[in-house]
Amino acid sequence: MENMEMHSGITPPKGIWWKPAPAQERRWVIISFIWCLILFAMMPLWHFKGGQNPAGVRTKVTPADFEARVDKFIKDYQIGEDQGIPVVQPPAGSDVYIAGRMWEWSPVLKLKKGVEYTIHLSSLDVNHGFSLYPARLNFQVVPGYDYGLKMVPDQMGIFNIICNEFCGINHHNMVGKIIVEE
Ligand code: CUA
């Protein structure tokens, strides 16, 4: 018993008990470190060069203020109703508004083909995903921001807006509509 050496996590063994990393391992550490720096540099670089930032304007807005803009827009240009959602036909080339809320997109828009609109998107409650089918256009709709996206509808038809961000029990029923006419 008296010869037994006692070790614990806080009393390290004596002497050099480790070996320096071999050259090959050191090379890999250096390569990994350089790669980390490249990826780090990519973040700001991608912001400027990646072409992935939302086009158009983005401003802050409270959900209540955005709702007031949407209400005024509906009041000014409403032409009908589709399953309880107002249908709005704004002047060609104007600023148009769509609000996302649990669990509807409102209003339904009636737009003219080949004319540029600024589509203002925002959410009145939680995050929603604006996904335009079949145009394969995706946009994250976050409360507190008014995203003004410039769009030129280049096809006629009825396009569904599908929510692609899980937003609660009725997420799968959150479908809106944009109608594009000649
Ligand atoms: Cu809105 Cu899912």
Query: Does ligand 1 lie within 6 Å of residue 121's CB atom?
Result: no
Cα(first)–Cα(last) distance of the chain, in Å? 97
CA 181 – ligand 1 centroid, Å: 27
Q: β-strands 95-101, 157-163: how paired?
A: unpaired
Look at strands 95-101 and 117-123 and give their pairing: parallel
What integer pLDDT is reported at residue 4 of this predicted model? 56
| pLDDT at 16 exceeding the cut of 90 | no
Distance of CA 128 to the CA centre of its chain: 8
pLDDT digits (tens, 9 = 90+) for 59-98: 889 999 999 999 999 999 999 988 889 999 999 889 999 9
Q: What is the pTM of this model?
A: 0.71
Q: Which residue's alpha carbon is at the smallest distance from atom 1 of ligand 1?
A: 128
